[in-house]
Amino acid sequence: MIHRRSFSIALAAAALPLAARAQDYPKQPVRGIVSNAPGTGTDITARFITKQMSQKWGVPVFVENKAGAGGALATDYVAKAAPDGYNILFTTGAHYGLPALYEKLAFDAQADFIPVAALAQSPIVVFVPADSPFKTVQDLIDAAKKSPNSLSYSSPGGGTSSHLAAVMMNNQAGIRMLHVPYKSASQSALDVASGQVPVGFNGTGAALPLLHAGKIRILAISSRKRSATLPQVPTLDEAGLKGYDFVVPILALVRAGTPAPIVDAIGAAATAAAAQPEFQELCKAQGLDVAIQGPAEMKVSAPQEFAKWKHLVALAGAKAQN
């Protein structure tokens, strides 16, 4: 028979290696697993943050890009890693939509991860060709109401954040526009610039070069507040869709089961790096806005985000292929 005192001693002994690992963290190289391709906002953000982490901790922090399946490829990789903080997932708000988009996943996007930091966010922009007769969002809404499903819009694909932002706008405005999904953000934006599609919804990364080249006009952004990169562009809330607010955050997460001291250490290092003026300038150049949250704030906001993205995916009727 195992006495209570002996059992307690056994539990304490078993916990010692875990506590020691947390106290010593990090004592070996750390990997930042990025869910997007090199050169994207997520990648550039991750590379800045991990460089600062490396300098703070005195150990190498490498970046590995595992793009594919809307972020599910990198997420699956980290889900299979040990819960020790040596694999940090850098991904976007699309993480919140994975359970609704995919019928079968090898991981639970909510239960299998601990959010450790929100670093930046990207609004979605609503844009038209430079010579478009549409000067305001209200012009679009009026045209769509006059002839439902005749006004088409492009996005980087069904179920993407750009598509969901458009669905949210359609739903709130009480209109129906025809969705034209593309396989890439750049091509969907280019076809709006050339006039093949009258309206586009896309991230700032694809839209800003075309704006600077004079090829498109941005009518509104999806965030509740105006963007530091596009201060002259009104928000959809200002354009008449009161309460409209949709942004795509860039996040850092680790495997569930990672000891709390390690979660706190990663969160503190990431948020300290994001608070630097150099990071703000980097974000501004990429069309991103700094938006910092630590582990405690993320614990509160994450469930709300999963619910929000689930609702929008349902509205869009979007499903990804496993």
Which residues pair with residue 58 across a beta bridge?
A: none
Which are the contacts of 10, defined by CB distance < 8 A and separation ≥ 6?
none
Once rounded to an integer, what is the mean pLDDT over residues 293-316? Answer: 93
Half-sphere exposure of 34 (CA within 13 A, CB side): 21
Distance in angstroms (rounded) separating the CA atoms of residues 171 and 291:
27
> Other CB atoms closer than 10 Å to residue 29's CB: what's the count?
12
294 token code pair: 């630590």
CB neighbours of residue 81 within 10 Å: 17
At residue 11, the pLDDT reads 46
Q: Per residue in 251-281, is it b (16+ CB within 10 Å) or e — as a string?
A: bbbbbeebbeebbebbbebbbbbbeeeebbe
Q: How confident is the model at residue 17 (pLDDT cuts 50, 70, 90)?
A: low
pLDDT at 16: 46
Encoded tokens for 148: 């439902």
Phi, psi of 291 (to 5 degrees): -150, 100
- Burial (Cβ within 10 Å: 0-12, 13-18, ≥19) of residue 321: exposed
Token code pair at residue 79 = 């889900």
pLDDT over 90, % of the chain: 81
E-strand ranges in the chain read: 30-34, 61-65, 87-92, 113-129, 152-155, 178-181, 199-203, 216-221, 247-255, 289-293
Contact 98, 71 (CB under 8 A): yes
Is pLDDT at 1 greater than 50 in this prediction? no
Q: Which domains does the chain have, with CATH numbers?
A: 10-122+248-316 (3.40.190.150), 123-221 (3.40.190.10)
The rounded distance, in Å, linking the Cα atoms of 56 and 267 is 13
Distance CA 178, CA 291 (A): 32
pTM, two decimal places:
0.86
Checking DSSP bridges between strand 216-221 and strand 113-129, what pairing results, if any? antiparallel
136-175 confidence digits (pLDDT tens): 999 999 999 999 999 999 999 888 899 999 999 999 999 9
15 has pLDDT over 70: no
